[in-house]
Amino acid sequence: MNMLFRSFSAVLLACLAIQVAAADLKDIQARGEIRHLGIRYANFVTGEGDGFDVELVQGFARHIGVKYRLVYSDFYSVIRDLLGKDVARKGGEVSLEGNFPVKGDIIATGFTILPWREKILLYSAPTFPSQVLLVARANSKLIPIKGSANLANDIAETKAMIGKRSLLGMERTCIDPANYDLKGRGLDLRSYTKSSNLNEIVPALLNEEAELTLLDVPDVILDLQKWAGRIKILGPISETQNLAAAFPQASPELRDAFNVYLRMIKADGSYDKLVDKYYPGIRQYFPEFFTKKR
């Protein structure tokens, strides 16, 4: 009985080891499937089985000769689902804690490159541009900044508009106020905790859960259409940002293969077709990103 128990325990431990071990390119090709961690957000992952990042990773799966599987996650869990470890942030320090099942091999979901994330993840080359903006209800008395050739001044002017007004954000996401030096300054910061779905931020703003919120440009483009006449952009909160696919640090060959694939589809025009399909009009916000040599 004891021998049977020991054998069962050994098998169980082996299975757990497989669950938490990061998979590199050869491991995924041997498995025959890549698991794409996606979050229902804007048009990156629509929740209907398509989206900019869904098609991007589907193409990558074909490129490396494996099947594709979409695994839904959320902004609170997605790094844990990739690494098998939860993230703890304290100031500028980031640590990984606990042991959890590894559910995916790649994060691609409008995932912003942020300094704290770079400490624990491998990023691909940029897949998409972004920027975080300050947004208010259309009936707010605040007037959008005029804008200038100096982005740093525009950001400072926009941040000054917050004053004593309440600001809605969401931790661990691109609209976390901590990313933009807004915490610890006596501001009325309100964290949206009813869910981890960024698509609920504008409805919460319209429901007067706060006076202001943060949104990024890809999301704003869609929200200005969906909530036409009900919200307005006041100005920039961040510099231009880049979005990218993210991988475990133990998967450099997988990341490198993705970069090769990304260069290939940018060269053959497939990438441009995806951009135009899911984000028509985005080029006017980031002309340099879409026209620079690839």
* Helices vs. strands in the chain: H and E counts, helices first: 11, 14
Burial of 264: CB neighbours in 10 Å, binned 0-12, 13-18, 19+: middle
Residue 79 has pLDDT above 50, yes or no: yes
Give me the pLDDT at residue 91, please: 73
Give me the pLDDT at residue 233, please: 97
Residue 8 has pLDDT above 80, yes or no: no
Give me the pLDDT at residue 293, please: 56
Assigned fold of 132-239: D-Maltodextrin-Binding Protein; domain 2 (3.40.190)
**Confidence at 175, pLDDT banded by 50, 70, 90:** very high
Give 10 or 44, the one with higher predicted confidence. Answer: 44
Give me the pLDDT at residue 66, please: 98
Helix (H, G, I), strand (E, B) or coil at 15: helix
Give me the pLDDT at residue 93, please: 87
Burial of 13: CB neighbours in 10 Å, binned 0-12, 13-18, 19+: exposed
Mean pLDDT, residues 175-204 = 93
Task: Indicate if 132-239 has the same CATH topology as 2-129+242-291.
Answer: yes
Q: Let me know: does 39 contact 73? Beta carbons within 8 Å.
A: yes
Find how far residue 290's CA is from the centre of its chain.
Answer: 19
Other CB atoms within a 10 A radius of the CB of residue 294 amount to 11
**Confidence at 21, pLDDT banded by 50, 70, 90:** low
What is the DSSP-derived secondary structure letter of residue 283? G
Give me the pLDDT at residue 22, please: 66
**Confidence at 294, pLDDT banded by 50, 70, 90:** low
Q: How far is CA 57 from CA 107, 161, 188, 218, 248, in A?
A: 10, 40, 39, 19, 16
Domain extent listing, the chain:
2-129+242-291, 132-239
Find how far residue 117's CA is from the centre of its chain.
Answer: 10
Give me the pLDDT at residue 9, please: 43
Mean pLDDT, residues 179-199 = 92
Residue 23 has pLDDT above 80, yes or no: yes
pLDDT tens across 237-288, in order?
A: 999 999 999 999 999 999 999 999 999 999 999 999 999 999 998 999 999 9
Residue 142 has pLDDT above 90, yes or no: yes
The Cα–Cα gap between 254 and 261 comes to: 11
Mean pLDDT, residues 146-156 = 96
Q: Which residues pair with 95 in a beta bridge?
A: 88
Average pLDDT over the chain, rounded to an integer: 91
What per-residue string of b and e applies to 146-158 under the rule 16 or more CB within 10 Å gives b?
eeeeeeeebbebb
Mean pLDDT, residues 169-189 = 93
Assigned fold of 2-129+242-291: D-Maltodextrin-Binding Protein; domain 2 (3.40.190)
Mean pLDDT, residues 138-142 = 97
Q: Phi and psi for 278 in degrees, rounded to 5?
A: -100, -20
